[in-house]
Chain A
């Protein structure tokens, strides 16, 4: 499937700030289910952004605005060709061994509540893949999709207690539960096509991956109860949201920030099926 992505983020400040810097994890790396036809990132200045690869294999860009300003913007525009691999991620850059992704992080700590939840979800099932599918459903059942009930710093245990959250919370709970079961798991940020209805979203999508011996890393999107298919564009991975966050930034100056995000994922013209 050929997908077109347009992602625009505008920051506005109520008074000028002197300096801003951002880490952008907004560029996919190719793998067996993803072929990149074109991808372009543009920041506030005309010069191209300096790119590097982080320790998790993600492409990161450094965006700095080193002069007084009261707004700045980041644009992403790209076109990719995707294939359904039933969630299995093959030939993606993957510099760290699965074992690394077994340890808890601040947002995915394994609490007694999460441990009990995980054990109950997979009780009686032994096949690794079946257990993970079961767990994915259980996460979605336990956490209702509701905006505004959680925040970016909400951890897995809090999301489970709240019983409501967004895709980030579903991913964190799934990851923490996997680790409780001894399965390496990690966070994925990226884009999702949801149909040709010209709809705009206010955020990227997030899901998770679990390591299955024999298969490798397999994606699970608990928010939608599916393994990622050709509708998914995988951008960055990390042990939790913080490691895979699409944007992490800092400013110098005292100002109230207002952020406006527009994400549009469409089926590319001329490639309708």
Chain B
């Protein structure tokens, strides 16, 4: 809530008084309550490659992160602009490729990128939408200074935490919601459903049938898949529940086969269609690409969207905003060194102790080096990795991330936070006010990934800039 160690920003005044006025033992009881509630809901997180308890809870911190409506307005304008540009890039890159001809991004970076999916070339995705659900990871380094850390255009997860965090907070602290105008988030599933139905495929007649495709119960985000399907009131299906007949996708139901028009798929591209992509995939639907090409199904997000959130492509997103929208980007990019260039690589090697080095195609905080926190040995190991595969890495400066008061063992202390708002794109763009705030629970840590000891917080956008009532009004 402060840029550094200065005084709290205005929106936090109410949090401050709340913390001051609530007896510590009551707060402690509420924290225990929160854990019980999360266990009961069953929202747990399994972490790949870590082992341990797969039913582990992501730690939840009961002190919310607060944005005022002015800040939110600025952010949502920036997010809408950015997602429009990402979507325009995808339409272009699988179509005319004007941006390559204009020389705004190196052709090799796109065409030789493992995320470039030639099968998508000239495929007319319904409504021209590739990025139905985007999670844009932001950090704040100053009052009006937000940076985009990364764009998630494939199957961003975490929205169920945003929703559950809010539900738990409303149960624990109904008074807070009575006293303050906190903008609601609970309508997210309705907005998602509207967005999906608004871009039904050309061959769909009548009310589009939506389903959620999950890789299955062993997937770390399975809870979210089933949660969203429930909330939208649609079927949750796995690959074997679907069948393609004559380029039409059907799901098996107790009443026989039922045609599916829009699939919110949480299965990665590689596994989506064994007839087109990895032949060994048991999670996908053989032939679904036929249905896609024939205009018989909408896939959300579109196949091939990963080229837009590739970490090497990331560097060019501000250029996309200028090229496709003719606007100056509202949200900034973190300055990035691309190790494929010799001069940039040598800068990175000389400043390993200051920089964060990331794998270009990696995700979720695996395979990264946080220079200032790393030991000499770890830096040396990474130096060798960089020299061996420079083209797979980028580097960024460590930013002075904003902090938010957080419960820790010794009481309340500032901890670094980021923010993942979820941007929905159907016929129009909708953003539920807020998002998922992740907090680095270890003192001084900048890594907020839940796989790396991060926790979450409820995110409040307070005040209204339109007459819609907040949840507080009807709590």
- Find out whether the CB atom of A250 lies under 8 angstroms from the CB atom of B246: no
A21 lies within 8 A of chain B by Cβ: yes
Q: Which residues of B contact A55 (CB under 8 A)?
A: 117-123
A64 CA to B246 CA, complexed, in Å: 6
Given contacts A50-B294, A97-B97, A103-B112, contact A21 B118 (CB under 8 A): no
- Find out whether the CB atom of A100 lies under 8 angstroms from the CB atom of B111: yes
A96 CA to B279 CA, complexed, in Å: 23
- Find out whether the CB atom of A60 lies under 8 angstroms from the CB atom of B290: yes
Interface residues on B, range: 20 to 34
- Find out whether the CB atom of A62 lies under 8 angstroms from the CB atom of B118: no
- Find out whether the CB atom of A97 lies under 8 angstroms from the CB atom of B246: no
Q: Which residues of A contact B97 (CB under 8 A)?
A: 97
A128 lies within 8 A of chain B by Cβ: no
Q: Which of B243, B247, B274, B286 makes the CB contact (< 8 A) with A50? A: B247
Q: At the interface, is chain B mostly helix, strand, loop or mixed?
A: loop
- Find out whether the CB atom of B244 lies under 8 angstroms from the CB atom of A21: yes
Given contacts A21-B244, A50-B246, contact A56 B294 (CB under 8 A): no
Q: Which of A62, A99, A243 makes the CB contact (< 8 A) with B111? A: A99
A50 CA to B294 CA, complexed, in Å: 8
- Find out whether the CB atom of B246 lies under 8 angstroms from the CB atom of A96: no
CB of B274 to closest CB in A, whole Å: 6
Q: Which residues of A contact B275 (CB under 8 A)?
A: 21, 23, 248-250
Q: At the interface, is chain A mostly helix, strand, loop or mixed?
A: mixed
A99 CA to B97 CA, complexed, in Å: 13
Give A125-162 as 1s and 0s: 1 = Cβ < 8 Å from B's Cβ atoms: 00000000000000000000000000000000000000
A78-134 residues at the B interface, CB under 8 angstroms: 95-97, 99-100, 102-103
A54 lies within 8 A of chain B by Cβ: yes
Q: Which of B108, B116, B121, B276 makes the CB contact (< 8 A) with A56? A: B121
Q: A96-B121, A239-B118 are in contact. List 15 more A-B contacts (CB 8 A).
A: A19-B243, A23-B287, A47-B246, A50-B294, A53-B293, A55-B117, A55-B120, A55-B121, A62-B287, A64-B245, A64-B287, A96-B111, A97-B100, A99-B112, A250-B279
> What are the 7 A-B residue pairs with the smallest beta carbon separation, nearest first?
A55-B121, A52-B293, A62-B290, A50-B247, A55-B118, A62-B247, A66-B245
Interface residues of A (CB under 8 A from B): 19, 21, 23, 47, 49-50, 52-56, 60, 62, 64, 66, 95-97, 99-100, 102-103, 239, 243, 248-250
The 7 listed contacts between A and B (C-beta, < 8 Å) are: A55-B120, A55-B122, A62-B294, A95-B121, A97-B111, A250-B279, A250-B287
Interface residues of B (CB under 8 A from A): 97, 100, 107-108, 111-112, 116-123, 243-247, 274-276, 279, 286-287, 290, 293-294
